[in-house]
């Protein structure tokens, strides 16, 4: 018999008919380390009283209760069984549901349920409150008690033919209440059974909603919702001023009317409709209102061409692609690398708002064909300028730092983005922003970015401290964006209209390095998902092409271009577990735009759902608030999320020495005497440190009195050896598993299977 989740549940609930099959399954479970661990997970998940449950109206594999019921009843098609079992293996919530329901069915089917006669009478009287309960001694009551009564007696039988009592039995006292005839009152369904009967308005509501959406789409197709829209002219009745197109030879040109800013317009349209754009040769003839609205579209190709003509800058020439040698395993020197590897780490926190001169710095020309550099900055142009807006798409959101209140707030859809804005995207979320002109950026959390003003040629700039992003254009070939990625400055040129790139910025801190004294190494990866691009650093003599299916890796002062067989999972949005998606959908509506995000997340850290508590703790860590995250490791109810939370802690240490010092202070405040051990364990161990006694220290920590210390030690051992040996930090009986780890220590097997490297992406 094969060892599957279904057969394992049957073995645990003892419903296998053949004893030999049960013995065979038991032997297979003992021999398999994964199966033994899964048994512990099932027993642990079903015994957790505060573990969440899937929604009753869920959709999709693992969320639909009908799918789970078909699986338990062995009616689910065989091709769908592996998908459901995969969901259960990844989520404790779904695993507990399937295991608990299987256990209940096993108990019910094995022996009939015993029902109390009085309870049965109460159930039968539901809907007929005037029916009096039968007293003990009544013939029908006695018959029910003996289980001999099959159906109800005919109406009035109790009055017409009373049952004479035996001679030896004392007749029961006369009844004070008469049983009302059940046929006199029509049967009514109880209120609690009326679920789903009041939905007669649901089809009508859906129809009205669809009609409204279709009407809105039709009206939007007629033009933008400004005062020149046909519907607005019909309702308001104000004539639209016509602007006569003057010939090019005319000496005088009448000024176009200033359009009224509409709330529904995107910020990019409002900014461009406020004043006409200058041209390189002189004043541009006025355009009709409809043409100006079409030119102001943030996603149209015509708009980019108009701006290129209006700015006076020459069109960017597309150089021919050069040959790439990707067979060299060693990294090549990168002449465009920053002088200080940790420069990007210093630009973080509220202090970034007080450095406008650096944010306003124009990009240096990358080649002699480009326009000359921008004019020196004067005090008059230090004010923030609009650089884009948050796109109205889906429930993914991002937060912005507000210096006036010294806190973070959620950005609503259609919010304007100003130069110098510090934005953070939390884990599991993927919001989209639009940078004028026509550059769309999807930020894959966790990520930290800062907007910059457009350079002298009107090209967008963006700084990313860490995180991932997908960047594309609105169908404009030759578009460019200037990027500062972890301190590495460069320019990406999209050679094709449909080109799209993926950016990944991280910092590599070697295992065992002190995060407060050893600087982390910036690691940048530039994937070409669609089309072709060129990447050029500020000082490189020529741009380097990156074809589709290739990645440009920049590590400190070295770089190389490699081929990739498959795009990272995060680029497809497939790097999240189902339980993380559930937590994201639950947390998102609770984050209001008018309250500080840190306050909301601290409130959600007490949520009844463990996945929401864990997500709130991880989000707070990216706001440099580590108290809730540290407390998670002392709560055994959160053990399913310790691995991801430990990863967040390690990433926080590598962000900057200041962040590492903040983590140390939080540990000292909340962990007392264990703070030093926890801080050291969070660094990890290098191979040399393991040989010098670090392996013995980790094994001894497995029996420490503090749960957090045991968790940190076990997480290190897992990452080093890729083994668990059935050790559970929260269990009271740990002797056998600790003994197994000591055997590994004595045999010298606590070694890295694969040493962490900056060349290996975790995406």
CA–CA distances in Å: residue 2 to residues 11, 17, 22: 12, 15, 11
- Positive or negative CA dihedral for 223, 227, 232, 237? negative
Q: Which residues contact 438 (CB under 8 A, 6 or more apart)?
A: 298, 299, 300, 303, 304, 473, 474, 476, 479
Structural domains of the chain, ranges and CATH numbers in brackets: 5-110 (no CATH), 332-366+384-572 (2.60.120.1440), 582-746 (no CATH)
Query: Which residue's entry shows tokens 């020459």?
Result: 314
In Å, what is the CA distance from 600 to each residue of 587, 610, 690? Answer: 10, 16, 42
How large is the angle between the packed helices 578-587 and 81-90, nearest 10 degrees? 60
Which phi and psi (to 5°) does residue 655 adopt? -65, -45
Tokens, residue 219:
């009206």
Dihedral sign of CA atoms 213, 214, 215, 216 in order: positive
Please confirm whether the linkage preceding 437 is cis (ω < 30° from 0). Answer: yes
Element (H, E) at 650: helix 642-655
Write down the pLDDT at residue 182. Answer: 40
pLDDT averages per 10-residue partition of the chain, 763 residues: 83 82 84 84 81 68 74 83 83 86 81 76 73 53 44 42 44 44 45 50 83 82 68 58 40 40 40 41 41 40 42 40 37 44 38 35 37 39 83 82 94 91 95 87 94 91 95 84 93 90 94 93 93 86 90 88 89 86 92 94 93 96 96 94 95 94 95 94 95 95 95 96 93 91 94 84 57
pLDDT score recorded for residue 242: 42
Q: Quick one: 623 exposed, middle or buried, by C-beta within 10 A (0-12, 13-18, 19+)?
A: middle
Paired strand residues for 558: 333, 555
User: What is the C-alpha to C-alpha distance for residues 620 and 728, in angstroms, rounded to an integer?
Assistant: 27
Encoded tokens for 608: 């009844």
Rounded to whole angstroms, the Cα distance separating 254 from 245 reads: 9
Residue 533 structure tokens: 């691009």
DSSP letter at 4? -
- Tokens read off for 736: 């056998």
Start-end of H helices in 333-415? 343-346, 356-359
The angle subtended at Cα 592 by Cα 591 and Cα 598, nearest 5°, is 55
* Interatomic CA distance for residues 64 and 19, integer angstroms: 34
Distance CA 550, CA 532 (A): 10
Q: Which residues of 201-220 are buried (b: 16+ CB within 10 A; e: fewer)?
A: eeeeeeeeeeeeeeeeeeee
Q: Identify whether the C-beta of residue 582 lies closer than 8 Å to the C-beta of residue 93.
A: yes
CA distance 381 to 388: 18
CA gap 11, 553 in Å, rounded: 50
3-state secondary structure of 560: strand
Calculate the CA 468 to chain-centre distance. 13
Tokens, residue 289: 């209102």
499 and 519 in contact (C-beta within 8 Å)?
no
17-40 in b/e form (b: 16+ CB < 10 A) is: eeeeebebbeebbeeeeeeeebbe
For residues 411 and 409, give the distance between their C-alpha atoms in angstroms, rounded to a whole number.
6
Q: What is the pLDDT of residue 344?
A: 38
Q: Which residues contact 228 (CB under 8 A, 6 or more apart)?
A: 240, 259, 289, 290, 293
Please give the Cα distance from 651 to 486 (Å, whole number).
14
Count CB neighbours of 114 within 10 A. Answer: 5
- What is the rounded distance in angstroms from the CA atom of residue 121 to the CA atom of residue 116? 9
Name the nearest CA neighbour of 394 among 419, 429, 421. 429
Closest by alpha carbon to 529, among 474, 470, 447?
Answer: 470
Candidates 464, 512, 547; CA nearest to 687 is 512
What is the number of residues in the chain? 763
Please count the helices (runs of H) and the strands (runs of E) in the chain.
27, 17
Cα–Cα–Cα angle for 737, 741, 743, nearest 5°? 115
Which residues, in sequence order, are bridge partners of residue 332? 559
Closest among 629, 658, 628, 643 to 715, alpha carbons compared: 643
pLDDT for the residue 662 = 96
The pLDDT of residue 759? 78
- C-alpha angle 379-380-386 in degrees, rounded to nearest 5: 115
> How far is CA 344 from each of CA 180, 414, 458, 655, 724, rounded to the nearest angstrom?
85, 29, 24, 9, 37
Strand partners, 333: 558
């Amino acid at each position: 018999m094969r060892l599957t989740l279904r057969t394992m549940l049957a073995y645990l609930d003892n419903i296998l008919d053949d004893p030999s099959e049960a013995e065979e399954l038991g032997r297979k479970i003992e021999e398999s380390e994964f199966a033994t661990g899964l048994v512990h997970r099932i027993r642990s998940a079903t015994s957790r009283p505060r573990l969440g449950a899937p929604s009753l109206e869920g959709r999709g594999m693992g969320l639909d209760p009908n799918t789970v019921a078909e699986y338990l009843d062995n009616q689910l098609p065989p091709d769908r069984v592996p998908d459901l079992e995969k969901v259960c293996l990844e989520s404790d919530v779904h695993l507990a549901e399937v295991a608990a329901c299987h256990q209940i069915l096993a108990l019910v089917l094995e022996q009939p349920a015993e029902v109390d006669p009085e309870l049965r009478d109460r159930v039968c009287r539901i809907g007929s409150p005037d029916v009096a309960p039968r007293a003990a001694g009544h013939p029908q009551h006695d018959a029910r008690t003996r289980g001999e009564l099959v159906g109800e007696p005919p109406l009035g039988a109790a009055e017409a033919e009373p049952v004479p009592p035996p001679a030896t039995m004392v007749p029961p006292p006369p009844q004070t209440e008469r049983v009302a005839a059940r046929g006199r009152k029509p049967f009514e369904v109880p209120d609690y059974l009326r679920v789903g009967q009041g939905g007669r308005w649901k089809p009508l509501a859906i129809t009205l909603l669809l009609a409204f959406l279709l009407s809105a789409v039709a009206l939007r197709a007629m033009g933008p919702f400004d005062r020149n829209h046909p519907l607005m002219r019909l309702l308001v009745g104000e004539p639209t001023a016509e602007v006569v197109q003057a010939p090019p030879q005319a000496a005088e040109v009448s000024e176009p009317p200033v359009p009224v800013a509409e709330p529904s317009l995107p910020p990019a349209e409002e900014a461009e409709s406020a004043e006409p754009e200058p041209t390189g040769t002189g004043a541009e003839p006025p355009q009709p209102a409809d043409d100006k609205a079409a030119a102001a579209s943030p996603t149209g190709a015509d708009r980019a061409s108009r701006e290129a003509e209006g700015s006076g800058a020459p069109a960017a020439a597309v150089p021919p692609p050069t040959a790439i040698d990707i067979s060299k395993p060693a990294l090549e020197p990168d002449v465009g690398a920053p002088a200080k590897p940790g420069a990007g780490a210093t630009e973080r926190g509220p202090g970034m708002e007080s450095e406008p001169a650096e944010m306003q710095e124009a990009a240096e020309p990358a080649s002699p064909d480009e326009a000359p550099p921008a004019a020196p900055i004067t005090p008059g142009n230090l004010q923030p300028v609009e650089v884009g807006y948050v796109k109205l798409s889906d429930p993914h959101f991002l937060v912005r730092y507000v210096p006036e209140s010294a806190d973070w707030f959620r950005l609503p859809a259609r919010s304007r983005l100003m130069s110098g804005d510090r934005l953070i995207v939390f884990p599991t979320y993927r919001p989209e922003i639009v940078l004028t002109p026509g550059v769309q950026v999807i930020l894959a959390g966790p990520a930290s970015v800062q907007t910059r003003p457009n350079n002298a040629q009107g090209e967008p700039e963006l700084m990313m401290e860490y995180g991932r992003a997908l960047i594309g254009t609105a169908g404009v070939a030759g578009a460019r964006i200037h990027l500062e990625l972890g301190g590495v400055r460069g320019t990406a040129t999209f050679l094709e209209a449909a080109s799209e790139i993926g950016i990944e910025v991280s910092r590599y801190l070697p295992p065992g390095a002190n995060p407060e004294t050893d600087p982390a190494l910036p690691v940048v990866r530039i994937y070409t998902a669609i089309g072709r691009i060129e990447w050029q650093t500020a000082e490189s003599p020529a741009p380097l092409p990156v074809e589709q299916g290739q990645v440009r890796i920049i590590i400190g002062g070295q770089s190389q271009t490699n081929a990739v067989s498959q795009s990272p999972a995060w680029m497809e949005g497939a790097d999240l577990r189902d339980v993380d998606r559930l937590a994201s959908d639950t947390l998102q509506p609770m984050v209001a735009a008018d309250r500080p995000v840190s306050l909301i997340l601290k409130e959600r850290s007490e949520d009844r759902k463990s996945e929401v508590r864990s997500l709130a703790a991880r989000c707070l860590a990216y706001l440099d608030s580590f108290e809730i995250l540290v407390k998670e490791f002392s709560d055994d109810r959160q053990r399913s999320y310790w691995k991801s939370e430990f990863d967040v802690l390690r990433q926080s240490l590598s962000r900057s020495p200041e962040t590492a010092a903040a983590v140390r202070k939080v540990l000292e405040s909340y962990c007392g005497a264990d703070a030093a051990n926890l801080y050291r364990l969070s660094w990890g161990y290098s191979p040399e440190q393991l040989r010098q006694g670090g392996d013995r220290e980790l094994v001894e920590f497995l029996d420490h009195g503090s749960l957090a210390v045991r968790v940190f030690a076990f997480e290190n051992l897992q990452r080093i050896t890729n083994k668990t040996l059935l050790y559970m930090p929260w269990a009271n009986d740990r002797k056998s598993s600790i003994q197994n780890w000591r055997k590994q220590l004595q045999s010298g097997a606590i070694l890295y299977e694969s040493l962490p490297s900056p060349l290996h992406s975790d995406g």
